[in-house]
Structure 1
Amino acid sequence: MTLFYTLIVHIIKRLLPVAGWFYPKIRPFYKGRQSQKDYQSFDKKPHDKVIWMHCASLGEFEQGRPVLEKLKEELPTYKILLTFFSPSGYEIRKNYDKVAWVCYLPWDTPRDVNIFLDYFQPDMALFVKYEIWPNTLRSLKKRQIPTVLFSGIFRAGQPYFKYHWFKQLLHSFDMFFVQDERSLQLLQDNGIKHVSLSGDTRFDRVYDISRNPVDLPLIQAFVNHHKVLVAGSTWPKDEALLVQYINQSAQPDEKFIIAPHVIDESHILQIERSLTQSYRRYSRLSSGDSVDFQVLIIDSIGLLSQLYRFAQLAYIGGGFGVGIHNILEAATYGVPILIGPNYQKFKEAKDLIQTGACISVDSVEQGVKSIERLMADTDLCHSLGQESQAYISAHTGATSSVVNYVLEQQNMST
């Protein structure tokens, strides 16, 4: 099976440059790896002590970030290597100043992986959430490099618990830190004993963000004591719901901040053309401009986690598609949350729905009615928001568990 898998990776590696001619979004995926294939530009010294953290994309980076930054504090003489699988994560964080090097995960072939490991020689490897690469894991195990997966979450239907070859890969890890009891039990039932129920490091990340607000004077001027709905990571079906409320039901004392998941020009124009109420783009707003408009469209990246603090109500997109985006970023500010119907794979959504702090709607009509009710009742929003904030506070602490384990392992190896 390993030979067959490796052959498939080689085939994909050869075909992607051809596919890139027809699908431009693929090009950064293989060109980035091609440009760093010998790693000589990274200037790694033979004596450097290295902690390697791998993230699939930007979401996993934010999940792993509290661990990374705490390790930077606790192990100041170590260098940290950060890798990404996807271009979206790499392009946004390639200049991240808390680490020594940022690069792409190598192709998962024995040769590519060994070139990578020979150059960086990590003292420990950390994988965030669910990154399981067979040849990479086999090489790490062969070299006896301690390997950890944290913020892991598993389901019985995953191939790791169905097929022997996949199941064996789990034994390549020296330690698992998982988010929930179900994941703990699944691993233990399948012979994995080195596992700890630590929780999800995303809670620590969003908690830290809420305690370190960034000054946003343009947003503050726009909000100016109005009732505000902040809609984050929205898709067209989410926007149809929001626009119907804004155009038909919005009150004069209400304002709306919409941060779409896709911010290309055509999508922003689509939102603008659907609105009958006044609006502005964030990129075109300057200090001293009039803020006498009702809808602010966020057409830049990196603001969303700071915007929810201005909200009376948050709407998180994705629930009318493949699944919701990050609801914890809103919950940490003590804000009630609306989502679409596709949330079943997200434990935090199910938990918050049980507390009443999160409400799932199945249609535009139901969503509009929920917004009407919540925007009209500040006391209800405050009460539900307290449930959100309490949920976040009760689930912090996963970062300490992971960091303490890493420190213990490194102390034992010195």
Structure 2
Amino acid sequence: MSDPLARAALVAYRLAGALAYPLLGPYVGYRVSRGKEDSGRRRERYGYASVARPETGPLVWVHAASVGESVAVAPLVRAIAADGINVVITTGTMTSARLVDERLSDCAVHQYVPLDLKPSVGRFLDHWRPDVAIVAESEIWPMTLLELARRRIPQVLVNGRLSDRSFKRWKSAPWMAEALLEKLAHVVAQSEVDGERFRLLGAHAVTVAGNLKADSLPPPCVAEELADLRQAFGNRPRWAALSTHAGEEELVASAHKRIAERHPGLLTILVPRHAERGDAIEKLLTDAGLVVARRSRGEVPDHTTDIFLGDTTGEMGLYLRLTEIAFLGKSLAGEGGQNPLEAAMLGTAVLSGRYVQNFRDSYQRLLKNGGARIVRDGDALSAHVEQLLDEPKTLHRMADAAGETVEEMRGALSRTMQALQPFLHPLKLSIGLEQRGQAAWRR
């Protein structure tokens, strides 16, 4: 690292972390009180492991920040573990921890990611002693990068992406971007656009493999709960607005009223991105004269219900299976959009606003194949939903095209594993040598 600005900024970051470290106890405690941290495992955030490291064999550390990243890397974790390599996977949220436990507990150990402070990261690395670190999408933490580099542990970014906003922010401090990205041994990007952005910011080795989410499993659900809700819904016409952000619920409420004029008995499934907004959204809807049933209270819609409010976390698989039409939020009143692949792989016609910068490549493919449509405002949203309810053949063509698009996008896992071979192959060789040595010792 030759740039004096980068050196000074990173020294300041380290000093700020050292000063803040004694104050983190109350901060983490506050998060525990808000239900954002696991009270029984809070020490993991300081780098204290809650389980022992495997006694033998190499180990790969995989980090996935939240649910989306955890879903994306799940097949990758399973593929690495299938070669006999130990895996510890870290996440930062309780929801993603539950997902990892459900999908990967048979092949990986889960821990909460340590805070990006030298003592926490140091404790974590001292205990787990990873041979390779793999990070998903865009999780770049300065102290973790520096500490891994100091210990000469190769670091690989997989499923890498840079949103327009992130790219602009990094470009404003190119000296810092290069100082950090040069620590990465390899970047495996989602798209050509992402790959070029990483190269421009200073990453040395970049390949493009596609989006790992296309190779992931659809989000799960509890079959009994799905059957119960389908029975309660009956044959009512319905659609869903998923992962909505502030400002979009008003548009959904207005759309429901317009569509219900021509489709009596309409049921709208509304799932906010942040479940804790449930009370405020319920008030907004009831003030608009709509009858609401809330999933968080265990309420089941009846014939009087207008809106089924899915104010829970970790149940997107349930909500997606209850509809054939899904509007994905953070795209009309917010910016960036939401991942459309989970909806597409479950055969759902996708609607979205035009602000989908974070998932540009996926939407371009879906739009090209006819599996998604862009709506400009609330009026257009209601018009498209009405058309799809009126024209089942059009709806099913869209749903089929969405599923076919996901099939076309598959293959990112094998390409990513190929890019990882220079880092994983020596670990597999060491396992073979260790096994032969143990066999010779027993003889």
TM tier, smaller: 0.7 to 0.9
For structure 2, list consecutive stretches of 5 or more residues without a partner in the other structure.
1-7, 431-443
Shift of the 183–245 alpha-carbon distance from structure 1 to 2, 3 Å rule, reads closer
Shift of the 270–93 alpha-carbon distance from structure 1 to 2, 3 Å rule, reads farther
Shift of the 160–13 alpha-carbon distance from structure 1 to 2, 3 Å rule, reads farther
Counterpart of 2:251 (choices 231, 236, 241) is: 241
Shift of the 20–411 alpha-carbon distance from structure 1 to 2, 3 Å rule, reads closer
Q: Name the SS for the 1:172 alignment partner.
A: coil
- Which position in structure 2 is the counterpart of 1:219? 229
For structure 1, list consecutive stretches of 5 or more residues without a partner in the other structure.
none
- Which position in structure 2 is the counterpart of 1:349? 363
Counterpart of 1:119 (choices 124, 127, 130) is: 127
Contact 2:36 2:93 in 1 (8 A): no
Aligned residues: 407
1:239 and 1:128 mapped to 2: Cα distance? Answer: 31
Alpha-carbon deviation of 1:56? 1.9
Q: Deviations over 1:86-134 (max 9, x none)?
A: 5664476567624543223223333332221111011221100011222
How do 1:308-327 residues align onto structure 2 when only pairs under 5 Å count?
308-319=320-331, 320-327=333-340
- Which position in structure 2 is the counterpart of 1:209? 218
- Which position in structure 2 is the counterpart of 1:69? 78
Contact 2:70 2:99 in 1 (8 A): no
Amino acid at match of 2:86: K
Q: Does 1:298 align with 2:321?
A: no
Aligned residues: CA RMSD = 3.4
Task: Give aligned-pair identity as a percent.
Answer: 21
Q: Does 1:170 align with 2:170?
A: no
1:161 and 1:118 mapped to 2: Cα distance? Answer: 35
- Which position in structure 2 is the counterpart of 1:148? 156
1:344 and 1:158 mapped to 2: Cα distance? Answer: 15
Q: Name the SS for the 1:249 alignment partner.
A: helix
- The more displaced of 390-399 and 180-189 is 180-189
Q: Name the SS for the 2:193 alignment partner.
A: helix
Q: Name the SS for the 1:41 alignment partner.
A: coil
Contact 1:19 1:26 in 2 (8 A): no
Contact 1:324 1:342 in 2 (8 A): yes
Counterpart of 2:190 (choices 158, 179, 200) is: 179
- Which position in structure 2 is the counterpart of 1:231? 241
2:231 and 2:279 mapped to 1: Cα distance? Answer: 27
Q: Deviations over 1:42-67 (max 9, x none)?
A: 12244253221112222221222221
- Name the TM-score, length of structure 1 as normaliser: 0.84
- The more displaced of 175-184 and 300-309 is 300-309
1:328 and 1:356 mapped to 2: Cα distance? Answer: 14
- Which position in structure 2 is the counterpart of 1:394? 408
2:59 and 2:425 mapped to 1: Cα distance? Answer: 14
- Which position in structure 2 is the counterpart of 1:78? 85
Counterpart of 2:423 (choices 394, 397, 409) is: 409
Alpha-carbon deviation of 1:399? 1.4
Contact 1:114 1:139 in 2 (8 A): yes
Alpha-carbon deviation of 1:300? 2.7
Q: Does 1:383 align with 2:393?
A: no
2:39 and 2:311 mapped to 1: Cα distance? Answer: 28
Q: Name the SS for the 1:39 alignment partner.
A: coil
Q: Deviations over 1:337-394 (max 9, x none)?
A: 2223432332123443455533333433332233223322222222233332222111
Shift of the 4–338 alpha-carbon distance from structure 1 to 2, 3 Å rule, reads same
Shift of the 65–165 alpha-carbon distance from structure 1 to 2, 3 Å rule, reads same
Q: Name the SS for the 2:210 alignment partner.
A: coil
Alpha-carbon deviation of 1:22? 8.1
- Name the TM-score, length of structure 2 as normaliser: 0.79
Amino acid at match of 2:355: N
